[in-house]
A and B are shown apart, each in its own frame.
Chain A
């Protein structure tokens, strides 16, 4: 049995046994739904239905229902797309990159972070798919044999790369998540008494039996999937950034975008994980598994990625001046002093200044402060995408073509609606799925459990 250094803080607090872990995580699934959950899912579902009706209106009317115009052809929708995809990245980072680095604290948070990834990527996909206008022709993005003089999609286009990147990312994240869920579903199946629910989890668990060979394969598959999901997660947001980086419009012509977008994605994703987990640990009584140390680790990731993002903002400004290209320089002057300067300063405050508060240990170990700052970061990251997209294209080379963007009710409704759909899915996950990787947690109990560590220190 591996021993962990005694100065490392325990990851599982209290005196827990293997059975306690099973009980703590499966218990809420077996009991009746709590009142708060019913209230929360009702609210989320109402918002989701509103969002879906906005989508229905959009599809039946056409994307003129959005506030887009001839000058600003991408705005609110693509902002939301990038925002949601970015949020998704934290899940893969936690489950894949932290697995490769053997970070054990990931085990308490990876399951819900991956669920968040999957739901966030679904929300993200809504926007570009409906932006196509005639959404029933979405399959034209695939290289299918066709009757149009054999018209193939353009593989030189960053948008086409995005189709491949996002769909690969979504499907690989989904199987990665599900592979981990199978043994935990088996645990629930074996505990369930009600025959209907037992049958349900029996199907979900694929007949997992936990044989020695199964576990060897399980660990190998997790490791290899982590190994290939790591470059995948970096490639996905790099490709998303190339939607903007490979253009000739000032502000959309920047080689710094891939690393800057990737760190921004991790930044916003961790903030979203914190927002969700701080609520979940309280309502589902998971304080022994997700405690202050986990929150602190995540806050450290937020400082690091937030500072990278800050440096990227300043580099962009510097390069726009240093390049000597007056159009490029104007794009950036316009960002911080033009009609959308409020969004620029919103972004600067929320993303660069406020996360620096986490340098203080008092703040990064304070759960209430973390909760507030995590929401601030997500607001900031939404504005970052808005700034990049709208301020760059609303004024380009010819002043006669300048314009402004004003969101319509459908724009706003669809965005709010995706938040509702996201929370509906997440609440369903929290109710029916094991929210922690309980069988993985058992492997670290003897290394990182509080009572076991105390026992080990005595010897």
Chain B
């Protein structure tokens, strides 16, 4: 059976929320939602899990901390110790207070950039990537819900369409894939 994709457009975030709730309650799986801004409270309704980017950021930042500690030890203590105003050049731990600013900055640097790169890669948003929103109005003031027959195996095309039409739809387009 050919996969059919329903693009259900709403003209208001509240209508989208109500529509998503009603459809999910009737057992329809919503594949995705395209919206011009984050619609709060929508994620649990359509089953989008919380992102783990914050954890990733913590790990990148910890890597940064470790690298900065290793670096300051290697440059200042191990490889070429220098007597700078009598500061301890023989022991990392005794010289550590002077290294705190750089360790901190480097941790922030790694945490921020690591997370942002992960974010861009996971989103598939990189320079020159093609956009995949089904309608240009979804970045302005319209909200589109994507529903596929493939994901809703138990239901026929006309059943899904009938259910969709019970919500406050602005426009509906059905495409073959």
For chain A residues 178-227, which have a beta carbon within 8 Å of chain B? Answer: 179, 182-183, 186-187, 189-191, 202-221, 223-225
Q: Give the interface SS of chain B, mostly helix, strand, loop or mixed.
A: helix
What is the minimal beta-carbon distance from A344 to any residue of chain B, in angstroms? 30
Cβ contact within 8 Å between B51 and A220: yes
Chain A residues with Cβ below 8 Å from B128 are 203, 206-207
Q: How far is the CA of A23 from the CA of B17 in the complex (A)?
A: 25
Cβ contact within 8 Å between B37 and A439: yes
Chain A residues with Cβ below 8 Å from B43 are 212, 216
Complex partner residue of B116 from A156, A221, A235, A446, CB under 8 angstroms: A221
Q: How far is the CA of A132 from the CA of B25 in the complex (A)?
A: 67
For chain A residues 1-46, which have a beta carbon within 8 Å of chain B? Answer: 1-2, 17-19, 22
Cβ contact within 8 Å between A156 and B95: yes
Q: Mark B85-118, 1 if CB is under 8 A from A, else 0.
A: 1010000000100110110111011011101100
Complex partner residue of A168 from B48, B108, B115, B123, CB under 8 angstroms: B108
Cβ contact within 8 Å between A154 and B57: no
Complex partner residue of B141 from A18, A161, A176, A235, CB under 8 angstroms: A18
Q: Which segment of A51-59, A145-153, A356-364 sits at the interface?
A: A145-153
Cβ contact within 8 Å between A156 and B87: yes
Chain B residues with Cβ below 8 Å from A143 are 71, 75
Complex partner residue of A209 from B71, B95, B131, CB under 8 angstroms: B131
| A100 CB within 8 Å of chain B | no
B13, B54, B72, B139 interface centre (most CB from chain A within 10 Å): B139
Cβ contact within 8 Å between A17 and B38: no
Taking A154-B84, A164-B106, A212-B32 as contacts, is the C-beta distance between A22 and B130 under 8 angstroms? no
| B76 CB within 8 Å of chain A | yes
Chain A residues with Cβ below 8 Å from B32 are 211-213
Taking A149-B80, A168-B105, A209-B132 as contacts, is the C-beta distance between A22 and B75 under 8 angstroms? no
Taking A155-B98, A221-B119 as contacts, is the C-beta distance between A211 and B51 under 8 angstroms? no
Interface residue count on the A side (C-beta < 8 Å): 68
Taking A168-B109, A202-B131, A442-B37 as contacts, is the C-beta distance between A22 and B51 under 8 angstroms? no
| B173 CB within 8 Å of chain A | no
Q: Mark A222-245, 1 if CB is under 8 A from B, else 0.
A: 011100110110010001001000
Taking A151-B80, A206-B120, A220-B53 as contacts, is the C-beta distance between A171 and B105 under 8 angstroms? no
Cβ contact within 8 Å between B36 and A217: no
Taking A156-B95, A165-B101 as contacts, is the C-beta distance between A186 and B131 under 8 angstroms? yes
| B14 CB within 8 Å of chain A | yes
What is the minimal beta-carbon distance from B2 to any residue of chain A, in angstroms? 24
Cβ contact within 8 Å between B140 and A19: yes
| B59 CB within 8 Å of chain A | no
Q: How far is the CA of A182 from the CA of B136 in the complex (A)?
A: 15
Q: How far is the CA of A218 from the CA of B76 in the complex (A)?
A: 39
What is the minimal beta-carbon distance from A120 to any residue of chain B, in angstroms? 19
Cβ contact within 8 Å between B124 and A213: no
Q: Mark B115-150, 1 if CB is under 8 A from A, else 0.
A: 110011011111111111100111111000000000
Chain A residues with Cβ below 8 Å from B85 are 156
Taking A160-B102, A442-B36 as contacts, is the C-beta distance between A214 and B125 under 8 angstroms? yes
Chain B residues with Cβ below 8 Å from A156 are 76, 84-85, 87, 95, 98-99
Q: Mark A440-459, 1 if CB is under 8 A from B, else 0.
A: 10110010000000000000
Chain B residues with Cβ below 8 Å from A207 are 124-126, 128-132
Taking A154-B84, A209-B132, A235-B104 as contacts, is the C-beta distance between A215 and B35 under 8 angstroms? yes
CB closest chain-B residue, reference A207: B129
Cβ contact within 8 Å between B105 and A235: yes
What is the minimal beta-carbon distance from B77 to any residue of chain A, in angstroms? 10
Chain A residues with Cβ below 8 Å from B61 are 228
Q: How far is the CA of A205 from the CA of B76 in the complex (A)?
A: 43
Cβ contact within 8 Å between A171 and B139: no
Cβ contact within 8 Å between A206 and B119: no
What is the minimal beta-carbon distance from B23 to any residue of chain A, in angstroms? 14
Cβ contact within 8 Å between A175 and B76: no
Q: How far is the CA of A213 from the CA of B80 in the complex (A)?
A: 49
Taking A207-B129, A212-B33 as contacts, is the C-beta distance between A187 and B140 under 8 angstroms? yes
Chain A residues with Cβ below 8 Å from B51 are 213, 216-217, 220
**Contact sample, A vs B, 5 pairs, CB 8 Å cutoff:** A17-B141, A154-B76, A209-B138, A228-B61, A229-B112
List the 10 shortest-distance A-B pairs measured between CB atoms, nearest first: A207-B129, A18-B141, A190-B136, A206-B125, A152-B75, A215-B38, A161-B101, A209-B133, A19-B141, A187-B139
- Beyond the given A164-B102, A207-B125, A210-B139, please list 7 additional residue pairs across the A-B interface where CB-CB is below 8 A: A151-B80, A164-B101, A164-B105, A208-B125, A212-B35, A224-B54, A229-B112
